[in-house]
Structure 1
Amino acid sequence: MEKGKECMLTDQMSGFKKESINYNSYEISFRRWLISEIDADRMSIQEARDRFKLSPSEYKRILKRWQERYSDQLHLSLQAMSSKERSDNSKLDQRIKELEKKLELAQLKNVALNTMIDIAEKDYKLSIRKKSGPKQ
């Protein structure tokens, strides 16, 4: 072979290299949105993996960690209805509308607070959220 025309086998294998993905580079708002989509059953884990090209070997571990951090469990304190109120359909419809309005307001508040915390942590370098496990 002529000098300069030699090439290594590994030079031709660029399509076979395993790319390393830095999952910390994903925005927190994206992570929170993706987990909310999965939690609400609007997207499956496999759909998320395919759509956002998550690593086939690591996606379950990554999404599980994101769910632990960013999944929102909303707890509302609601008054119980009497049996007389339950039998009246108009009262049930009114109650449903009232609960939907409360839920929407609680979700908006939750998104606003999480966004505010994300901005404060990013812009002002504040550590607001509690770290899990031995990292405290």
Structure 2
Amino acid sequence: METKRAGKKSTRENKNVPFTKREIETIVEMIESGVPRREIRSQYGMHESTLTNWMTRYGSKDYYAERSRRYSPSEKRSVLRAVESGMSVREACVTFGIKCRTVVDRWVRQQKAENAELRRQIAPVKSEEKEPKGDSSGQVKELEEQLAEAQLKIRALETMIDIAEEQLKIDIRKKSGAKQSPK
């Protein structure tokens, strides 16, 4: 089972023979340099869990710092706006420096679920049990519309506060249990 990758050959013919320390270091370096795990697994005939264990044990801290990057809400919104405006997920990953496409796919799914939830909240209740009989049914509809509009406004204001806190690096929201300052 000899295959070539970047000038290095796999000399492993038997899966029952353990890997040498040098082979493990070489494989870890290949992953950290960007070689896809799928290629390494097929080249060396190993299981994904073995590779994951080696990366946990022998991988550099820089590799894991880059791999487990956290994205701010404003970064997520920027990526989602780009995807909504017609950019493909792959292009968005390249543009915004996101290594894993599934991260953006998950954000898109979450956004669709949130939008569906908002639409359900906005839709007026049309149950006959809830609507009173007579002239007040028009009032109920009007109140439901006002409530839906108020909920959207609250959500928009909370988003604005999140953005302001993140960009200005100040705490705007009052902490629960915080003491008031003397006047």
Q: TM-score, normalised by structure 2?
A: 0.32
Question: Which of the pair has the greater relative contact order for Cα pairs under 8 Å at 6+ separation?
Answer: 1
Q: Which has the larger radius of gyration?
A: 2
- What's the TM-score, normalizing by structure 1? 0.40
